[in-house]
Amino acid sequence: MSLSAQKYSSSLANYEAYKAFRGKPLSDKFSNIESVKVIYDLRKQKMYYFNSTLIPLHYDFVINYLYYNQDLEVFNNNNYSNTQKNRDFLLGNLNHIKGTEKWIFELAASDHMPIDLIERFFNLVKKSTFIGENLKFYLNNPEQMEWFRLEQFKIPCVKSDYIFNEIKYQEVVSGTNIGILKQYKIKDLDKTKPKPDEIIVLDGTPDILPNVKGIIVTDLQTPLSHLVLLGKNRKIPIMAYTLALKDENIQKLLSKKVELKIKVDTFFIKETDKKIVVKTSSKTKKLTIDNTVTDLVNLSKIPKKGVNYIGSKAQNMAYLIAIAKEIPFKTPEDAHAIPFYYYSKHIQKESISPLIKELLAFPKKDSTVWVNQQLKKIRDAIKK
């Protein structure tokens, strides 16, 4: 099959052909990886490598180019199942770790494809590309791990360490900022509080995200780590760099004013005389707590002003349940929310309330150690 306006091909003759179709990997668990989406049409016995920048999803491709006419729910149920029965397609990703000869074939973690189909798909990819013996199959769910442990695979398989060993740098939250470069040990963060004008280098992942201009950690992060979520929420540039404590350039810049730029595949750090922009603290918003609602709240209907009596998470769940009626996807069955009334009553207990009052009245709020100890006491009292 010839290239269709650079949208898809039945084979990849060389790295240039691969580059024409490359985009982001199936998950953003690893950086420094490029990826091409792959589909094998079981009925027509045809292979498709396609441009995942132009066509982001496998489902988009089969609808627009292979004339598939089922909805997304049917597509997912049939084509990620543990049997060939009812499957129309085999779906995967062909990943490459940039700057290496490591090529990794991967299925979605939710795909329960049986071993015989995995091996068939793997060999079809190997046969239709230039990669040859460098191709490995990435084990990314417990089912595949167990088959591998039982030595049931007849194809070369790898785990996360095969990928992580090559990766020294990972963009966690992209962005640019200016600050004083400082280095801290995780164990000292209980006693020492980094300043808001600092870009900090840490020897691991902090439990609490410090209020700083940027963060460099030595641990690679998973997509849903608290560092990723909080960093994106607070718009703090964050990167993982396993060699940060040994990097001479970084060590030379400690205690100096630097500019840090974090990008998908690389980072830049240099001394600068640019001004450090001080964040102006926005007005604090007093959150409403409505304790008049005392019944469990049924989330099958969107509660009016529910944020005030069940909170944002529960309110958003009601929105998701409403959307799921139009675009089918799974939501918790018969979901209900407990209103704030009960939580408010609970923390008025004699074993809890004085601890909270003591925390709120304490004059030296900057004592991180004391605040953390007091919060632990409150949590323990609530659990008890």
CA angle 87, 90, 96 (to 5 degrees): 165
Q: What is the CA radius of gyration of the chain?
A: 26
Q: Taking all residues of the chain, what is their mean pLDDT, rounded to a whole number?
A: 88
User: Which CATH superfamily hosts domain 169-271?
Assistant: Phosphohistidine domain (3.50.30.10)
Q: What is the distance between the alpha carbons of residues 104 and 221, in angstroms, rounded to a whole number?
A: 20
Query: What phi and psi, each to the nearest 5 degrees, are found at residue 148?
Result: -65, -40
pLDDT at 24: 57
Task: List all residues 6 or more positions away from 159 whose beta carbon is below 8 Å from its beta carbon.
Answer: 138, 139, 145
Q: Are strands 267-271 and 257-262 parallel, antiparallel or unpaired?
A: antiparallel
Q: Kindly write down the DSSP assignment for every residue of 75-96, as one continuous string.
A: HHHHHTSSSSTT--EEEEEEEE
Cα–Cα distance list, 248 to 63, 172, 176 (Å): 52, 22, 21
Q: What is the pLDDT of residue 380?
A: 95
Give the model's pLDDT for residue 45.
95
The pLDDT-based confidence of 366 (bands split at 50, 70, 90) is low
Separation between Cα atoms, residue 186 and residue 197, nearest integer Å: 19
Query: Could you tell me which residues come within 8 angstroms of residue 319 by beta carbon, excluding any fewer than 6 positions away?
Result: 302
d(CA 294, CA 310): 11
Find out whether 33 and 227 touch, Cβ atoms under 8 Å: no
Beta bridge partner(s), residue 95 = 35, 104
- What does the pLDDT read at residue 367? 64
Alpha helices of the chain — where are they, by DSSP H? 15-21, 58-65, 72-79, 115-127, 142-149, 160-164, 226-234, 248-252, 312-324, 340-346, 353-361, 368-383
Q: What is the pLDDT of residues 53-68, one digit of tens each?
A: 788 889 999 999 998 9
Per residue in 215-238, pLDDT (tens digit) is 999 987 765 567 777 888 888 999
- Residue 240 host element (H or E): strand 238-241
- pTM for the model stands at 0.53
Task: Write the secondary structure of 251-320 as one string of H (helix), E (strand) and C (coil).
Answer: HHCCCCEEEEEECCCCEEEEECCCCCCCCCCCCCCCCCCCCCCCCCEECCCCCCCHHHCCCHHHHHHHHH
| Predicted pLDDT of residue 73 | 86
* 84/42 Cα distance (integer angstroms): 9
Residue 102 reports pLDDT greater than 70: yes
Structure confidence at residue 363 as a pLDDT band (50, 70, 90):
confident
The residues facing 297 across adjacent strands are 337
Query: Is residue 2 scored above 50 in pLDDT?
Result: no
Q: What is the pLDDT of residue 120?
A: 97
Q: 122: which strand partners?
A: none
Q: How open is the CA angle 116-19-110, to the nearest 5 degrees?
A: 35
Residues contacting residue 381 through CB under 8 Å, at least 6 positions apart: 349, 351, 352, 355
Identify the band that residue 303 occupies on the pLDDT scale cut at 50, 70 and 90.
very high
Interatomic CA distance for residues 349 and 177, integer angstroms: 46
Of the ranges 4-13, 82-91, 123-132, which one carries the lowest mean pLDDT score? Answer: 4-13
Q: CA-to-CA distance for 281 and 176, rounded, in angstroms?
A: 20
Q: Which long-range contacts (CB under 8 A, 24 or more apart) does 179-184 make?
A: 179/212, 179/213, 179/214, 179/257, 179/258, 179/260, 179/276, 180/255, 180/256, 180/257, 180/258, 180/276, 181/250, 181/253, 181/254, 181/255, 181/256, 181/257, 181/258, 181/269, 182/254, 182/255, 183/245, 183/254
CATH 3.50.30.10 segments of the chain: 169-271
Which residue type, as a one-letter code, is found at position 303?
P
What backbone torsions phi and psi does residue 178 show, to the nearest 5 degrees?
A: -120, 135
Q: Is the pLDDT at 213 greater than 90, yes or no? A: yes
